[in-house]
Every structure is written in structure tokens, then in C-alpha cells.
Amino acid sequence: MAISYKIENLNMQKLWLVLSKDDFAGQDNLKVICKIAEEYGIDQDSISYFTNTKFDLDELSDLAQTVSFFGDRLIIIKDFDISDLADNYVEELCRIIDDSEGTHFAIVLTYEDEKSLSAKKYAPLMELAQKQGVYHQIKEIDDKYLVDISIEKAKSLGTSLDKATATYIVQNVGKNIGLVLNEVEKYCAACNYTKISREDIDAIGVKTLEARIFDVIDLICNKKPVKALETLNLLYSQGTDEIAVLGALATSFIDIHRCKLAKKKGTGYQTVHQDFEKRSNAYRYQKAMNNANKFSEKGLEEIISLMLKTDISLKSSSVEKRHLIDILVTQIIVKGMAD
């Protein structure tokens, strides 16, 4: 079993079993499999697709037992979560694959929880893949890997991208591989395939709500209320709901409060990250720890209280929601200045 992003064994196999948390990662590996099959002489006419969780087992069995007029064939099963595969389907799949001749199988599915893969019903399929081909499990993609593939993508397009700038892209976009690579392509074109800069990213880049809120809080901490409100208006123009904005603001200030208390005890942001949400981006707590210096403990408690009141008002008041958020941001800046 491999845990890297891409299949590394480029030989023809009887069975590829690819399981990934990110569907884009699975589909990217399917492209690798199809390329291998093409080089082996299997064309599109000899490829069959099954994308329904309750695909016809009899039809699949007939295909697997029928030698293609043009040679070997490839059967692809994809586009759903492995947990949706009924127990009898797993058992029957193994039998069909084991009994087939001249037929290759690519099973490319997603999974939500790694613990679910330890269920006994999947074991025969995984063992068969290891015995007759490749079992490739793609675990949650970390930031380092996203940075690496961003640099690799830019290089393939003849563009320079340094590690710090690639990290900035990933922090803005999040863990969606497809979106990260699409953004890199866009920046390559924007810089005319020379070198991607932070200026290019800030000018045309997509940012997650979390990344935009980081920007807002940085502006609040630097006492720039107008710029903070302009950034919020950009979020609204992109269709972001005010309640979602408040939720992201609240999460960030709770993180800052946690880091403030941790700093008081001499604890670093890494420990806070592990204690609270170790599956989230550690950068989030690094930012929180840096911003913790800008507020007192009492001030942060008052800000969180203000957010609770704003949340109640958003859901019950007739006052325009954006106006309530603007008032909140102004109050936070006042608290920061008082501290």
C-alpha cells in the first residue's frame, strides 16, 4: 500500500484499488491508470465505466469474462464512496476479478474516515489488490505536499514559484488540490510564465473564508478599520453570508484567546493546535498566537461576548446584518486600542 499522492508503479496491473479522501486526487490517479492502459494498447473502445453504487454485477461479470475483439479490456469503477458498496458487492467483485482473464480493473473510490477502512468487508478486496496489482491509499493531503505539487505544476508550465509564495497560495486556498492547481495555472498566466509573486496572488487570487478573515483580523490588529471593512465588503460581494462571516470571526478570536492563555503558561501554538483541532491547519494557530499580543485577556473575553450579542442580533434584529458586523468590527478595534 502506498500513501503518496500519485501512483508510482507505472506497470500494467490486473487490479488497481485507489482510495482517497479527496476525489480530485482519485481522479488524478485514474488519469495515470488510463495512460498506462493506453500505452499497453487498451483504447477507449475497450474501457467500460461503472459509476453507480448499485451497478449491475451480472453485466460486470459478463464483461470481465468476454475477451475484447481488440485485446485486453479495462473496467473502471468510480465516483462514489467505498462505504456505499454493499457487502455482497465486495465479495462478488473479488470473485469476478479473480476469475477474469484479459480484463483489468481500476476501482477508484473515496473514503471519509480512515478507521472505516479497517472494516472486515473491505479486507478481501484490499488483499486481492496487493496480490494482483496495486492498492494505493491517499491519506489527507498535508500542506507540505500541496506546496510541492504547486511548485511542480508551475515548473511544468515554465514558471518560477518559490516555496514561500507556494505556501501563501496553499494558505489562501486550503486543501482542495484541484483548486490549488487551478490557481497556480492562473498565476502562471498572470505573470506571463515568468515568476509568480505575492502581488499576482493578491491581485487575482481566490481565498478561502478563513484566509480572508485572517486578513480582516490583521487589519483590525493594525488599526485599519476602513481596510478591514473593505475586505468584508469583498466577501459579501462574493456571496458570503454575514452569519458565516461572524462564525469565522468568532472562531479566529476564540483561537486567539486560547493562544493568549497558552502563552501565559509558556506553551506554544503547536500544543494548542494538537489540543484543540489537530486536523486543522497549524498555520491558523500560528496566526492566532501572533495576534494574541495585540489584545489583553480581558479584552478578548469582552470581544467574544460582543460576538455572542451580535450573533443574537443577526438572528433576531431587523437591522441590516452588514451594519451589525461593521459595528462589531469597530468595537473590536476600540477594544484593541484600549488594550
3-state secondary structure labels for all residues of the chain: CECCCCCCCCCCCCEEEEEECCHHHHHHHHHHHHHHHHHHCCCHHHEEEECCCCCCHHHHHHHHHCCECCECEEEEEEEEEHHHCCHHHHHHHHHHHHHCCCEEEEEEEECCCHHHHHCHHHHHHHHHHHHHEEEEEECCCCHHHHHHHHHHHHHHCCCECCHHHHHHHHHHHCCCHHHHHHHHHHHHHHCCCCECCHHHHHHHCCCCHHHHHHHHHHHHHCCCHHHHHHHHHHHHHCCCCHHHHHHHHHHHHHHHHHHHHHHHCCCCHHHHHHHHCCCCCHHHHHHHHHHHHHCCHHHHHHHHHHHHHHHHHHHHCCCCHHHHHHHHHHHHHHHHHHC
For residue 285, the model assigns a pLDDT of 83
What pLDDT is attached to residue 3?
Answer: 44
pLDDT of residue 1: 38
pLDDT at residue 135, as a whole number: 95
pLDDT in tens, the chain (339 residues): 344 678 889 999 999 999 998 787 888 899 999 999 999 999 888 999 999 888 899 999 998 987 656 689 999 999 999 998 888 899 999 999 999 989 999 999 999 878 888 899 999 999 999 999 999 998 767 788 889 889 999 999 999 999 999 999 988 887 777 778 888 998 998 899 999 999 888 877 777 788 788 888 888 887 787 888 888 887 887 788 888 889 989 999 999 999 999 988 888 888 888 888 766 667 788 888 888 888 889 989 999 999 999 999 888 877 788 888 888 888 888 776 555
Say how far residue 12 (Cα) sits from the centre of its chain.
Answer: 30
Q: pLDDT value at position 290? A: 86
- Rounded to whole angstroms, the Cα distance separating 254 from 148 reads 31
Closest CA to 212 of 152, 185, 252, 165: 252
pLDDT at res. 314: 86
